[in-house]
Amino acid sequence: MVHKKPGLPTKTCVLCHRPFAWRKKWERDWEAVKFCSDRCRAKSKKSGDSERHGFNAR
Ligand SMILES: [Zn+2]
């Protein structure tokens, strides 16, 4: 008898380096997922600049 959970695949976020598990919303492009959350993805885009919340002047 093997005790095996269905277990979701996991990855490590390239930004915060935390492990995260597969989510339904990623089922289409799990291969391409690099970040644990939209937050991390957004951060990686704004390389360095101060964090403004959805305020795009110019
Ligand atoms: Zn992250």
Q: Where are the domains of the chain?
A: 10-24+32-42
Model confidence over 2-58: pLDDT tens digits? 777 778 999 999 999 999 999 999 999 999 999 999 999 999 998 655 555 555 555
Q: The pTM is what?
A: 0.65
Q: What is the largest CA-CA distance in the chain?
A: 62
Tell me, in angstroms, the distance from the centre of ligand 1 to residue 58's CA. Answer: 28
φ, ψ for residue 4, nearest 5 deg:
-125, 125
Q: How far is the CA of 56 from the centre of ligand 1 (A)?
A: 23
Centroid of ligand 1 to alpha carbon of 3 (angstroms) = 30
For Cα atoms 25, 53, 40, give the angle at the middle one, nearest 5 degrees.
40
Query: For 4-14, how does the pLDDT look when each residue is reduced to its tens digit (9 = 90+)?
Result: 777 899 999 99
CA of 2 to the centre of ligand 1 (A): 33
CB contact set of 11 (below 8 Å; sequence gap of 6+):
19, 20, 33, 34
